Amino acid sequence: MQDALPALVLNSEAIPRTLMSDTPPTPAFPASPASDEHLMLAFSKGSAESFNELFLRYKQPIYGFFRRRTADSNHAEELSQETFLVLLRAASRYEPRALFRTYLYDIAFKILRAHRRKAAFRATFFGHPKSIPDPAKQDATESGLWVRRAVEKLNAIDREILLLREFEQLSYAEIADLLELPVNTVRSRLFRARTALRNLLEPSAASAVSEAAQSAEPAASPAAAQAIPQKGIRL
């Protein structure tokens, strides 16, 4: 298996950094009609082309997964590459017991947790770096910044469920498998997360409209209020 894949070493040519962005992933429309599971089985038997196809389908969603959970875009790229490298190394042991993307996101979660443990260790024993990039600044728009700050205030599990559902667009069953939770728990906590996020965003929007109206001239107040962008994401 390893002898058949010398060209799949994940270097800068295999994973072009310029193609990575923080754009929320959308359902893929692959050039090949083969399912992810079929491609992974073919890859486990030595098909380099199958791996290339899987990489094209998932490189952007996996990068987006890490970008929304790390403060540094370089870390997101490194963790994305590590995810595909682990996938490559574990191919011979792959069994289609679940959807391929559930399998892939499970690898990504394990890598993310390891990254967080290392970061916590470094912070404890070596101190915090002088400057830590703010994930909220990934989006330059005011509404995007408010949404990110509101999401950060959610309970950790609720936040993860919300991100997996709204951005990674996973099903309830897939989220349940990844987080090892009952499906009904995923549903109830997602509802709670959406409600909490809505409550966090609505006061901010109302406050912004009020401040704009107060700071503007009386004649321009209605127009100023209408100019305030709507805050939030699809809930």
pLDDT (tens digit, 9 = 90+) per residue, 183-204? 999 999 999 999 998 998 886 5
Q: Is 26 exposed, middle or buried (0-12, 13-18, 19+ CB in 10 A)?
A: exposed
Residue with more model confidence, 168 or 215:
168
Task: Give the range among 70-74, 110-114, 172-176, 206-210 with minimum mean pLDDT.
Answer: 206-210
Angle formed by the axes of helices 142-152 and 183-215, nearest 10°: 140
Give the up-direction half-sphere exposure of residue 192: CA atoms within 13 A in the CB hemisphere. Answer: 15
More confident residue, 95 or 127: 95
If one compares 224 and 173, the residue with the highest pLDDT of the two is 173
Average pLDDT, the chain: 74
Residue with the bigger pLDDT between 147 and 180: it is: 180
Supply 207's token pair: 């406050």
Mean pLDDT throughout 60-65? 96
CA 101 – CA 177 distance, rounded (Å): 11
- Length of the chain in terms of residues written: 235
Residue 118 has pLDDT above 50, yes or no: yes
- Percent of the chain scored above 70 by pLDDT? 61
d(CA 94, CA 92): 6
In the structure, what pLDDT confidence band is assigned to residue 127 with cuts at 50, 70 and 90? low
Share of the chain above pLDDT 90, in %: 46
CA end-to-end span of the chain, whole Å?
A: 45
Q: Is the pLDDT of residue 125 over 90?
A: no
Backbone CA torsion sign across 207, 162, 107, 44: negative
Structural domains of the chain in order of their starting residue, each with its CATH number = 1-133 (1.10.1740.10), 134-235 (1.10.10.10)
Per residue in 65-100, pLDDT (tens digit) is 999 998 889 999 999 999 999 999 999 888 888 899
Distance CA 20, CA 138 (A): 13
Q: Tell me what percent of the chain is helix, strand and coil, each rounded to the nearest 5.
A: 70, 0, 30
The pLDDT confidence band at residue 6, using thresholds 50, 70 and 90, is: very low
120 exposed, middle or buried (CB, 10 Å; 0-12, 13-18, 19+)? exposed
Cα–Cα distance measured from residue 207 to residue 162, given in angstroms and rounded to the nearest whole number: 25
